[in-house]
Structure 1
Amino acid sequence: MTKKTTYLIGILLTILLGTYFYISCCSTCGTSVKDETTNEVTPTPSETKPTSTSYPFSFNDGDYAYETNDNFNFNMSSSSILLPLSEKVEKGISGLKDYITTNTGKVLNITGYYKGDEANKSAYPNLGIARANAVKNYLVEKGIASSTLNISGKLNDDMVSGDDNVYLGPVTYSISGETADLAEELKALYDKVKDDPLVLNFNTGEASINLTTEQRQKIADISRYLDKVDGAKCSATGHTDSQGQRATNIRLGLERADFAKSYLISNGISDAKIVTSSKGPDVPIASNTTEEGRSQNRRTVVTLN
């Protein structure tokens, strides 16, 4: 056997061995496996995608229960409900309204889910509360009293969105009786807000809002009180520094108060429950002789009436 022949045989053996190991170990990578008995095709692990989670529109209070796999849906990092809702959800809302209305003392607890990696663009402490609040407002529009609705948020990193970045029903529900100490809770909430109101500061000539975690919680507290107490209102009062004409500052203060009102409305607080006014430069809380003092005076104060 010549040297050239030996070389060619070696190349051939290398090709044959490589083909054998590829077929044995890798031929199913990224492919599907067909069951010859049932003709069903099962994707291999490389093709399998996590199944998107889906939570039902469901509640059970013993004598009354309802469940449908449909629910309120939301885009990732959003608290805006995706409309329209399914007919099954609308039917459930109608029945829920009748049940809550005719059974005094019953409340619906709405828990919104959120993931830790979602961006919270709402005015609430977390996106779960913001989603629950959006559902609450939708139910109020359908005639269910806001005083019979409780909202909360819960971190749920097990949620999986669909291919379109939509979370299916990241909201759960339960029906219960109202807590016996609700009156005391609301009194404590009122005192808390009055003693330490929400203060929004503005740059010179600007009306923009960037909330801290503490401010978001204050908005949640104000919203809960307004929901639970008939006739309750909050006030947004604009203030300015002493620079410029007083008449101009009175107008600027009102613009800031109206801006804060619009922001609260966009986050689910009723227009009818917010009263705006301006005190311009008349009630400073710091010296207007320094920039630091003037920046503190440029503010809108939101509190309960």
Structure 2
Amino acid sequence: MTKTLTYLLLMLLTILVGTYFFITLCSECGATAQQEPEPPAQAVVPATPEPTSYPFAFGDGIFSVDENDNYNFKMSSYDILMPLSEKVAGRIADVQAFMEANPNKALNITGYYTAAEENPSAYPNLGLARANAVKNHLASQGLDPAQMNTMGKLMDDMVDKDGTFLGPVAYGIAEATDADAADIKALYERIKADPLVLYFDTAQASISLTAEQRQKVADISRYLDKVPDASVEVVGHTDNTGQAATNLRLGMNRANFANDYLMKNGIPASKINTSSKGQTEPTASNATEEGRTKNRRTVVTLK
């Protein structure tokens, strides 16, 4: 066998062996490469927002308070959660001493609330009711209510902590002005000219206030705070259905109910005078149901 033939046989053998191994070991080499599937996207879980917390902090450049705590309230409530923290309670005496030494100063108190909350108070909004609750507590600790102003402010970005708002109250110190005295005089004239009138169903003593009536409660409360010797008159009236003696008692029940309602909303009992006129002072004819409805009322005004 010649060398040439030998080389040809070896080359053929090499091709055959290579083909065998290609078919055996690389049978999938020509297959289309399959892309690994991407893992499913993970759902983004929003982070739980941190509760909003406002401090018991204010000042005027001479005196300042800055405590990382405050008056706290449950959602849809204007009742202060007690006891107060030691931080806040420990500074109230300092605030009282400063305000007493500076009678020309006023402490502004702004209560916050959210639109999602219910307003169980007699005030136009829950923030004002909270501010009044703080004012009343400070007054019980010796601060003069005449040196405090209350306001309410919508704060929808507040975040509660397990149903409790942490310090939804802000403070500021301002200078008292002559305009304040003129405003109080105008407030008195407005209340006397257009008193708060509460209407009742027959033989019932329940109260449901309109927005206008809520503002009148706020005005009366403010006037009583600013004028130390001022008081409010609460007089119950009825229609002429039934006996006169019974109606006199019913009128008194309505006056007392209104008295309790005002007290619950922060007006001191010492500033409320109650009485009943029964059926003796109708404002409309008792011959019609419309007239009788107008006569079943309690009138709240300044003395």
TM-score range, shorter chain: 0.7 to 0.9
TM-score normalised according to structure 1 size: 0.86
CA contact (8 A) 2:233 2:273 kept: yes
1:141 is displaced (CA, Å) by: 0.8
Count the aligned residue pairs.
274
1:71 maps onto 2:70 in alignment: yes
Q: Deviations over 1:172-195 (max 9, x none)?
A: 000111122122111110110111
Q: Deviations over 1:240-287 (max 9, x none)?
A: 001111111111101100100000000000000000000000100000
1:149, 1:301 → 2: CA distance? 27
1:147 is displaced (CA, Å) by: 0.6
Partner of 1:131: 130
1:132, 1:123 → 2: CA distance? 13
Partner of 1:197: 195
Partner of 2:266: 268
- Select 1:217's aligned residue among 215, 218, 236: 215
- Select 1:230's aligned residue among 228, 252, 269: 228
TM-score normalised according to structure 2 size: 0.87
1:116 is displaced (CA, Å) by: 1.2
Q: Deviations over 1:56-85 (max 9, x none)?
A: 000111110010110001111111111111
2:176, 2:259 → 1: CA distance? 30
1:254, 1:105 → 2: CA distance? 41
- Give identity over the alignment, percent: 55
Structure possessing the higher radius of gyration over alpha carbons = 2
1:133 is displaced (CA, Å) by: 0.3
1:180, 1:46 → 2: CA distance? 56
Structure 2 runs not aligned, ≥5 long: 1-27, 29-33
- Give the 3-state SS of the residue equivalent to 1:235 in structure 2: strand
Partner of 1:296: 294
1:55 maps onto 2:54 in alignment: yes
1:281 maps onto 2:292 in alignment: no
Letter in 1 for 2:173: I
1:122, 1:271 → 2: CA distance? 17
1:17 is displaced (CA, Å) by: 4.0
Q: Deviations over 1:183-229 (max 9, x none)?
A: 21111101101110000000010000000000000000000000000
1:118 maps onto 2:137 in alignment: no
CA contact (8 A) 2:55 2:66 kept: yes
Partner of 1:35: none
1:47 is displaced (CA, Å) by: 5.5
1:52 is displaced (CA, Å) by: 1.0
Partner of 2:160: 161
Partner of 1:109: 108
Residue pairs, 1:234-245, within 5 angstroms: 234-245=232-243
Residue pairs, 1:3-152, within 5 angstroms: 17-18=36-37, 20-22=38-40, 25-26=41-42, 29=43, 46=45, 48-152=47-151
- Give the 3-state SS of the residue equivalent to 1:288 in structure 2: coil
1:47, 1:215 → 2: CA distance? 42
Letter in 2 for 1:178: A
CA contact (8 A) 2:103 2:147 kept: no
RMSD: 1.8
Letter in 1 for 2:53: S
- Select 2:175's aligned residue among 174, 177, 181: 177
